[in-house]
Homo-oligomer: A and B are copies of this chain.
Amino acid sequence: MVDLNQNSEKHTVRAVERALDILLCFTEASELGLAQITKKVSLHKSTVFRLLQTLEQKGFIIKNSETEKYRLGYRILELSNHLSGINDPAILFLPEMQRLRNEVDETISLYVRDGLDRIRIQAIESEQPIRRVAPIGARMPLYVGAASKVLVTFENPIERSSIMDKLEAQQMIDRVSFEEMINEIRSNGFATSFEERELGAASIAVPIFNKSKKLIAAISISGPVNRLTHEKMNNNIKELLEVASQLSNLIH
């Protein structure tokens, strides 16, 4: 069997890892039976059962008494309400994102990096009938899409090379061409993507730093390729860069 675990240098608690994996099963399906979960996490039936009971007792999972299947519990809701700290970009940036959306009428998304993923922590969708939809909380890989490239490019050098090491190890990128691309993005100050992750979708993304020049997030404008043409993008880039520099002043 292949070792899918990331280099397990750190000492972690296996039982907890397994329990969290079970929770994450529910990002794919909203209701699951014991057998289904067992298959997904490939653990023993009784192990999964015991972990489920623990999660249930703490309210992180509910057993639907009608279908006899498991669902996420309301403790998740409770916790998600406490995500937004006083210095949370997802809250602070909202008004400015709203303003920008109104101006360009395309979907505006805010991303942060989390390990080898990026996460959409805030979004305001375009009001046009054909638009980029943008579920908040969505997790995407860090090697495709404009925002991903920004989140790698403008990370500090040590972190950046560590990220690229891992992506290379997982054979997700070719190091040489990836670094070339990154250099171009750094000199431009923004990244674009045309139908890179999603057919028919295009986007521009720029970095947002905090006051001490540390990369915090990436903000993007995205929409259908036929509307977000190269020319239109060129107009938007200046606007987007201005917004980003204003947002940078909001955060410490």
Contact = CB atoms under 8 A, between A and B. Distances in A.
A12 B85 contact: no
Interface in A61-104: 62, 66, 71-86
Interface string A50-70: 110111011110100010000
A78 B117 CA distance: 12
Nearest to A71: B85
A136 interface: yes
Contacts of A10: 53, 57
A137 B74 contact: yes
Given A19-B16, A54-B13, A27 B59 contact: no
A62 B121 CA distance: 14
Interface string A27-52: 10011000000000000000000110
A135 B77 CA distance: 11
A23 interface: yes
B76 A80 contact: yes
A168 interface: no
Given A53-B11, A57-B12, A78 B31 contact: no
B78 A20 contact: no
B74 A76 contact: no
Given A17-B54, A72-B83, A137 B78 contact: yes
B76 A79 contact: yes
A138 interface: yes
- Lowest 5 A-B CB distances belong to which pairs? A80-B80, A77-B137, A12-B54, A30-B85, A81-B137
30 contacts: A6-B57, A12-B54, A13-B50, A16-B19, A16-B55, A17-B54, A17-B57, A19-B20, A20-B54, A20-B58, A23-B79, A24-B79, A30-B84, A30-B85, A30-B86, A59-B114, A62-B114, A71-B85, A72-B79, A72-B82, A72-B83, A73-B114, A74-B83, A76-B76, A77-B83, A78-B137, A78-B138, A80-B80, A81-B137, A81-B138
